[in-house]
Amino acid sequence: MYRIGIDVGGTFTDFTMIDETAGAVHFHKVPSTPHDPSEAIDRGIAELLGDHGIAAAEVAHIGHGTTVATNLIIERKGAKVGLITTQGFRDILEIGRQTRPHLFDYSVTKPPVLVPREHRIEVPERLDAQGRVVTPLDEAAVRRAAEAFRDAGLEAVTIGFLHAYRNPCHEQRARAIVQEVMPGAYVSLSSEVLPEFREYERLSTTVLNAAVGPRMARYLDRFLERARALGVSHAPYTIHSNGGLMSASAVRQFPVRTCLSGPAAGVVGAAAVGRAIGRTELVTFDVGGTSTDVSLISGGRPLFTSNRQVAGYPVKTPMVDIHVIGAGGGSIAWRDDAGSLKVGPHSAGAVPGPVGYARGGTQATITDAEIALQRLNPVALLKGRMPVDLAGSRRAVTEQVAVPLGITLEEAAEGIIRIANANMSRAIRAVSTERGYDLSRFALYAYGGAGPLHAVEVAQECGIPVVIVPQEPGTMCARGILLTDISFDFVRSEISIAEPAQWHRVVDAFAQLRAEALAWLEAEHVEPARQRLCFAIDARYDGQNFEVQVPMDHVDADSLDAFLDGFDAAHAREYGYRVPGRAVQVINCRVQAVGQVIKAPLAPARTGGSLAQARAGAREVYHGRAHGWQATPVYDRDRLCAGHRIDGPAVIEEMSSTTVLGPHHHAEVDAYGNLLVMLAPAAPAAPAAHAAPAHADTQQHTAAPEPQHAL
């Protein structure tokens, strides 16, 4: 049987397929179809199965990461939402937290409120902080609100009442009334989406869930229909923001949890590969067509957060802590009002794409700069399946950047790449040095279609001594999905002082969460032997405003002291100090339900071949002003074997990506086929070698035996 992982990106949709029996791994890549992402998925699965002569009935598992929810929020193309809330709380979404990210920059504005005021309706009802009914729900008012939403043509409704996280009875009754009046409406309850205190974040997250829900449901319907038409009988899973898999039914109910779907898979996969090769301190560096995603892995585990913003809107769900910037291969080079060169954040995307892709693009991008300098193959990408327009890329960079700035083509293209590298380096520092981590202890784990192109220069700029490039890095997120378990997070606010007299409240909350988690695992058809529960408590010193998370092996009547010791250690690690004798306040109780799935072990790399056999030719490549154009060996990565050492300058090509080594660098192939690039201090540069070549080197790449890939 076969397992397929799919990552839907802004420019390409990536596929990884593994044979559960033989352990062989196959990779594939097709252009994304932003108007309907399921089209690219359908095409890619069909091509992947057809290329290897596999029947669809032999596919036992499909997992996929999607940017549908994220794009709907960023582009503000979600459904029109109506909000029913407690009387007096109509304007919570507009009031927010009164924070100012740029205090003195008057050009920075808040994003528009997701629900217009005329569609935010108050109803009489009130619970106290313990969940006791103070004012009964006015059911007639709820009915009138639903009728108003129906008449306005709204297709989604959010119900968010004060203190509903302690008692959902009013929200549940209001939902029943709304469904009577609007039987086809998508309804989200704050007590189900985010049963935590802090009403602004809870309401914002629930409104976003309702906004993306209808279109996510339609996308899933198309995906499932296309999969069935291909003959795939198993319903696909979707990876969500905390790096676990959810069933289609869970995604329909909680689509907001997929906001970092694809990027989270890459981080999970990187952590798994890192643990296997003994590299537990990693900075993940995922550069795709539209964005760069960076994250930190420490001690072999990704860092997580439950507080972040998506397009300016608070989303409070557990997720891998990923920093995203608008810098990818399709990022457009442009000049600001002062004539200075800028790169991104706007992107040419998949359609029309960079000029060099010859699909109608007209604006110079990072990819065009890479093609112009012949760092990327100037003839074709994707193992020859995508022709490249070298002349078009050079013309775009020349006309739009070089001529206006009065510089050469090489200076313009190098300038585009250096600006992009600087932006990427700042993103890396934001998740590392700005949080107290020493980057000299880390390796840069580079993946995504463009990650290895930039990795060496970015690592040097950040002081990172080693770059790791996995096999087929452009499909790393798709591979990460095959290394991911089914999981779901359950949370309940239980605000109390951590002392013997009140600890039973925490124990009772965890007992209820544990029962919910086990029921969910049973509903997901996870065998008892593969079920696992993880426990954690959000806590703070009494009087503080924000919490730290304390992992717990278990929570029972005798675990109070273990919790307090764990809190002291977590607080000291996060803030650098302890306050002995200060009361500790429990805020949230968390249980993560995990259903372990079968994962293929990392396959060893092929051995025995010579480095000369891996050489596919040579071409002129521009290695910066210091080194100029140099005749550079080109290697076919599929022919590299464990133990090979490649000295720079060199270009290493594979189906999904290209790795560039500058002079004075070298790379080694480890036992699992990963490239380990060792960065030496910069040596004195020789004068620029010679002028740009008049045309591309059109050497032919000969076929190679199918290698044993590492997953």
Give pLDDT, residue 633: 97
Q: Is the pLDDT of residue 696 over 60?
A: no
β-pairing verdict for 443-447 and 466-469: parallel
Report percent pLDDT > 70 for the chain: 95
Cα 386 to Cα 29, 240, 380, 389: the distances in Å are: 11, 31, 5, 10
Helix/strand/coil (H/E/C) assignment for every residue in 565-631: HHHHHHHHHHHCCCCCCCCEEEEEEEEEEEECCCCCCCCCCCCCCCHHHHEEEEEEEECCCCCCEEE
pLDDT at site 311? 75
- DSSP-derived secondary structure for 685-700: PPPP--PPPSS---PP
The one-letter code for the residue type at 635 is Y
> What is the per-residue pLDDT for 681?
53
Average pLDDT for 435-454: 92
pLDDT value for 705: 32
Helices 169-181 and 139-151, axial angle in degrees (round to 10) = 40
Nearest to 8 by CA among 37, 49, 48: 37
Distance of CA 702 to the CA centre of its chain: 35
What tokens does 318 get?
Answer: 């557990």
pLDDT at 369: 97
Q: With a cut of 70, say whether residue 260 has pLDDT above it.
A: yes
Q: Which residues pair with 497 in a beta bridge?
A: 585
How far are the Cα atoms of 493, 514, 695 from residue 365, in angstroms, in the given order? 47, 50, 20
Choose among 329, 239, 420, 408: nearest CA to 656.
Answer: 329
Lowest model confidence (mean pLDDT) among 2-11, 159-168, 547-556, 688-697: 688-697
Q: What percentage of the chain carries pLDDT values higher than 90?
A: 63
Query: How far apart are the C-alpha atoms of 160 and 127, rounded to whole Å?
Result: 12
Average pLDDT over residues 90-103: 83
- The least confident of 110-114, 461-465, 516-520, 552-556 is 110-114
Overall average pLDDT of the 228-236 stretch: 88
- pLDDT above 90 (res 234): no
DSSP state of 234: S
* 561: pLDDT strictly greater than 80: yes
Comparing 122-126, 244-248, 510-514, 667-671, the range with the smallest average pLDDT is 244-248
Query: Are 566 and 552 a contacting pair, CB within 8 Å?
Result: yes
Cβ-Cβ contacts under 8 Å for 36 (sequence gap 6 or more):
219, 222
How open is the CA angle 317-561-495, to the nearest 5 degrees? 40
563-600 confidence digits (pLDDT tens): 999 999 999 988 889 999 999 999 999 999 999 887 76
Amino acid 606: pLDDT: 78
Token readout for 21 is: 């029996």
Q: Residue type for 489, please?
A: D
Q: pTM for the complete prediction?
A: 0.83
User: Cα separation of 433 and 438, whole Å?
Assistant: 6
Closest to 262 (Cα-Cα) out of 594, 5, 8: 8
C-alpha 324/C-alpha 9 separation (Å) is 14
Euclidean distance between CA atoms 365 and 376, whole angstroms: 13
Which pLDDT does position 706 carry in this prediction?
A: 33
Q: In the predicted model, what is the mean pLDDT of residues 249-259?
A: 91
Task: Look at residue 601 in the predicted model and tell me its pLDDT.
Answer: 64
Per-residue pLDDT tens for 646-664? 998 999 999 889 999 999 8
Whether pLDDT at 214 is above 90: yes
Mean pLDDT score, 438-453? 94
Query: Measured in Å, how far apart are the chain's first and last C-alpha atoms?
Result: 16
pLDDT higher than threshold 70 for residue 692? no
Angle between helices 409-431 and 451-462 (to 10 degrees): 70
pLDDT of residue 604: 73
Q: What is the pLDDT of residue 435?
A: 81
What tens digit of pLDDT does each residue of 273-301 get? 999 899 999 999 999 888 889 999 999 98
Mean pLDDT of the chain: 89
Residue 352: CB atoms within 10 Å: 15
Higher pLDDT, 622 or 326: 622
Region 299-318: mean pLDDT is 84
CB neighbours of 106 closer than 8 A, spacing ≥ 6?
A: none
pLDDT value at 117 more than 90: yes
Q: What's the rounded Cα separation, in Å, for the pair 472 and 459?
A: 20
Grade residue 680 by pLDDT with cuts at 50, 70 and 90: low
Q: Yes or no: say if 143 and 181 are a contact pair by the CB < 8 Å rule.
A: yes
Residue 104: the pLDDT is 80
Taking 70 as the threshold, does the pLDDT of residue 682 lie above it? no
pLDDT in the model for residue 241: 87
Half-sphere exposure of 192 (CA within 13 A, CB side): 18
Task: Residue 430: name the closest of 261, 597, 611, 293 by CA.
Answer: 293
pLDDT digits (tens, 9 = 90+) for 332-362: 999 988 889 999 888 887 778 899 999 899 9
Residue 553 pLDDT exceeds 90: yes
Reply yes or no: is the peptide bond before residue 354 cis, omega within 30 of 0.
Answer: no
Peptide bond into 116 cis (omega under 30): no
Measure the CA–CA gap between 156 and 171, rounded to whole angstroms: 15
What DSSP designation does 168 have? -
Which has the minimum average pLDDT: 387-391, 499-503, 697-701?
Answer: 697-701
pLDDT confidence of residue 600? 64
pLDDT value, residue 477: 87
Question: pLDDT, tens digit, for every residue of 401-442?
Answer: 999 999 999 999 999 999 999 999 999 999 898 888 899 999
**431, containing H or E segment:** helix 409-431
Among candidate residues 192, 171, 151, 195, the one with its CA nearest the CA of residue 85: 171
Residue 622's alpha-carbon distances to 24, 396, 414, 557, 617, in angstroms, are: 37, 18, 9, 66, 16
What is the model's pLDDT at position 346? Answer: 85
Residue 68 phi/psi, 5-degree rounding, is: -60, -50
